[in-house]
Amino acid sequence: MFKTIDSIAMRGEGVILLLGRLAIGALFLPTGWRKLLDPAAFANALGSQYGMIQPLLFWAVVAAVIEFFGTLAIVVGYRTRLAALLLTLFCIAAAVLGHKYWLADPAQYRNQFVHFWKDIALAGGMLFIFVRGAGPLSIDRR
């Protein structure tokens, strides 16, 4: 059975890696696009957590650019390792700064807990892309 699974993975490597990159794009591209279209709204959402708005507009734009263009790079397989590394940092920052479940009120604890660990898991997936690369069906072709 394990030889069959290995054979499927090896024969379908390019398509499987492409499907994985597309699945990541389905998650991050729409949210990154919304942040790019209205970075002030994103900064306001962040600022409401910290009681400040102006300094966060710069970081909101940086995050939106990394989320959207980094994901686009992963989807098409261009400079995939750099994009994956940036998105790893993005996911860790989103977890630590955006989902402080340890400070959440009891009504929000579970939701924030799940989102925190989802972002950590996504960072782990980005590390796999960082190490593996985009695969043969990409601009990078590795």
Sequence-separated (6 or more) residues with CB below 8 Å from residue 26: none
Residues of the chain short of pLDDT 70, as ranges, are 49-55
Residues 63-74: pLDDT tens digits? 999 999 999 999
Residue 54: the pLDDT is: 63
Residue 2: the pLDDT is: 84
- The SS3 assignment for 44 reads helix
- Residue 122 in contact with residue 113, Cβ under 8 Å? no
Tell me the whole-structure pTM to 2 decimals: 0.90
Q: Where do the domains of the chain lie?
A: 2-132
